[in-house]
Structure 1
């Protein structure tokens, strides 16, 4: 996933992050000290949306598994004294000792659906937080696009490039009760669950081309394909998605075209590490 592609097509992520920050404004207002933003990408949401809602005495550390994202963020925000970035795999089996109980709060928007081992991920978040620390996460629990990934994996034309499709399907995609499952996992980790919900959301793409640009920004397979296969795959993926979404006439566009109504589900959880909590043994 290239930083320039992501920055150019992440209006949906920005909107949903803004909604959560407003909904939990009192939580952000109480996030003093050091906050870690897990899956910060190029840092735009970290800086523009999260940092602006934190108290003036707070600073934020952006963490991302992608070194190119981290380097991009460092370059853009090198003069922001309250904002730093580093590389971290939140699913790691060996969290650096230097990061344990370092943070007063943790947030993560549009990241954890990439994690296949959610229990390991939550254990790591637990270890990152100091006793009494709060966490607030939001991630995709279901999207029809991942069903398209599954279907195209069986297409002989694309199959050689999609052998690891399962790695990019959210762990909650086929879960019957994501909210209850997440709540139980958080409690098993040792967190006090303050809020856990699973909401259906909608987003309107101005036209099919805008939808395609969004897919390019988040699709993990395109970079491994030759150009001819890439274009064919992207066209087929677009066809699959528009078949399962709602199209309606774009009245603002003077040329023929359609808006695309996308529906998906977001899982939101707010939780706290108890004051007497201890590091969980793996």
Structure 2
């Protein structure tokens, strides 16, 4: 946190929304059925919202109000304020795995204002608040649901070589409850974590403030700036302003523009939830018999990673391969149509592929078989040339409106997970115009996820869920994968122009990171519930460790860096006339 004083000065733009929120839930805040209530405010920051708005809204006979924040600097600042003796401040990361015993079953009400969109493990945060509330205790919070501007700024900064290494973790600040079924998703999410939703509201509102106040607020929340040497701070802040200009389409670099009032729109989620009277949640790590597996299980149960692939480890590889093959394309000098197959969460698509396309591209279509992925991509997209469609590249027939439509097809790692490689390439050919070109790369020798499913299909209790993988084999089972690839492409009407089989392609990754990548791809786990899910994880990990010959269970070694091999084939092909 760059500065408690900076946060204090720039929290003002939030007050309009805080005041309206507190007015909306004034009856809850007054706790009419309770006396001497205990209250916690999560993410109190500099304490300004707590002292100026929350405190006056509480009943006068409240027993205690504790503000907590993960940053020591904030708590140190708040500790110097002159406040009601019943008000205190404590350091607490709401995502902690080690919740202080003194907080358990203590509070009648927990509030939070503009905090949870900076939480990477929201499920763990909810579980902790569940533990801290008394039976029947209530939770009130408000947070933005649309693209977090700070997250998007980090995404832009990560594209700059100078700052790339600083933002390895930025992509964990993900959007929640944004799909077409977000209402059902929201209710199920809270139910799973021991809460009943009394009410909630998705509301778009506007604020008109000077641009400098808007950006200064997010600068105050920038936790990465403290890691930058003093002599590079000015250069970083300039890049920060430039990236915000890209995100908000407002000139945050020009001094005159900073003084102008600008209208910004933000969608909010406000929630009033209640801890179920008799609910006791099982510990996340209860599927293991030993204490050392706690961190591992926390990773595997992280909800955000279930919906999209963390592609950070592939960016450099894909960038290198696309650069090589894009230089050798022979695309016509006319308005071009481009399709990306297996777009997923859109990270490789938006950060690597799209910026490399020629200027005469008129339309870019991202596709994936998962509609939730497409909804996520749509929510992030601001380019009118880009659209997203659901598409299963292994279907017997491709949609008629996509046939013979594209000059260029791209795909990054999607074909690793197709079961019928021949059908996927045949469909790719149908999507291309005559002389249209294809750039594709995927893992070809092994797939630890599907290999694990194959072994689980031999187990009676999981056969119904994994039987489709009983006959799973890798794409090229013969001794000469080059010959197999050429034959598949030729039979699909594609001429292979260039290719490379990289048998030694590998990443230097921690064991923790390997698990995060594979768990984000585990599409079987989400179809299970309760104890079944826990048993599935236990068996999955046992087999996964055996197949990879790596021990992922020891908490002490989870951060050890290992050499994890992903044999990869890349290719450039052209559809024959």
Match of residue 62 from structure 1: 67
1:132-171 correspondence runs (5 A): 132-143=136-147, 145=149, 146-167=151-172, 169-171=173-175
1:177–1:139: structure 2 CA closer, same or farther, 3 Å change rule? farther
1:15-164, aligned counterparts within 5 Å?
15-30=16-31, 32=35, 33-58=37-62, 59-77=64-82, 79-143=83-147, 145=149, 146-164=151-169
Cα shift at 1:147 = 2.8
Q: CA deviation at 1:98?
A: 1.6
Cα distance in 2 for residues equivalent to 1:174 and 1:133: 27
Contact 2:13 2:213 survives alignment (8 Å): no
Return the offset for 1:257.
5.6
Contact map agreement 1:195 1:271 (CA 8 A) in 2: yes
Instruction: Map Cα deviations across residues 66-88 of structure 1 (whole Å, 9 max, x no partner).
Output: 111111111113x4122111111
SS in structure 2 of the partner of residue 205 of structure 1: strand
- Among 231, 234, 247, which residue is 1:241 paired with? 247
Change in CA separation of 1:138 and 1:241 when aligned onto 2, cut-off 3 Å: same
2:285 paired with 1:276: no
Cα separation, 2, equivalents of 1:3 and 1:177: 38
Question: Residue 216 of structure 2 is aligned with which of 210, 213, 218?
Answer: 213
Within 2, Cα distance between the matches of 1:256 and 1:91? 36
CA distance in 1, matches of 2:77, 2:177: 30
Per-residue CA distance 1:235-270 (angstroms, 9 max, x = gap): 312321341x699xxxxx9x9963221122211110
User: What residue ranges of structure 1 are gaps of 5+ in the alignment?
Assistant: 248-252
Structure-1 residue corresponding to 2:192: 188
* TM-score, with structure 1 as normaliser: 0.87
Task: Pick which of 95-104 and 217-226 moved more.
Answer: 217-226
Match of 2:236 in 1: 230
Q: Deviations over 1:96-137 (max 9, x none)?
A: 222110111111111111111111111111100001111111
Give the conservation status (yes or no) of the 8 Å contact 2:117–2:148: no
Corresponding residue number in structure 2 for 1:12? 13
**Secondary structure at 1:9's aligned position in 2?**
helix
Q: TM-score, normalised by structure 2?
A: 0.44
Q: Which has the higher contact order (CA 8 A, sep 6+)?
A: 1
* CA apart distance, 1:227: 2.0
| Contact residue 177 and residue 183 of structure 2 kept, 8 A | no
Contact 2:198/2:272 (CA < 8 Å) preserved in 1?
Answer: yes
1:264 paired residue number: 266
Work out the CA distance in 1 between the residues paired with 2:213 and 2:283.
46
Deviations 1:41-65 (A, max 9, x none): 1211111111101111113111111
* 1:195 aligned counterpart, secondary structure: strand
Indicate conservation of the 8 Å contact 1:246/1:260, yes or no.
Answer: no
Gaps of 5+ in 2: 285-577
User: Does the aligned pair in 2 maintain the 1:178–1:267 contact within 8 Å?
Assistant: no
**Alpha carbons 2:205, 2:267 under 8 Å: kept:** yes
| Partners of 1:229 and 1:174 in 2: CA distance | 35
User: In 2, distance between residues paired with 1:44 and 1:271?
Assistant: 24
User: Do the aligned partners of residues 120 and 56 (structure 1) sit closer, same or farther apart at CA in structure 2, a change above 3 Å counting?
Assistant: same
Deviation at 1:174, TM superposition (A): 6.2
1:154 Cα deviation (Å)?
Answer: 1.4
- Say which one has the larger Rg: 2
The range that moved more, 218-227 or 13-22, is: 218-227
- Alignment correspondent of 1:250: none
**For residues 54 and 118 of structure 1, what CA distance do their matches in structure 2 show?**
26
Q: Which residue of 1 aligns with 2:341?
A: none
> What count of residue pairs does the alignment treat as equivalent?
272
SS at match of 2:145: strand
Measured on the aligned residues, the alpha-carbon RMSD in Å equals 2.5
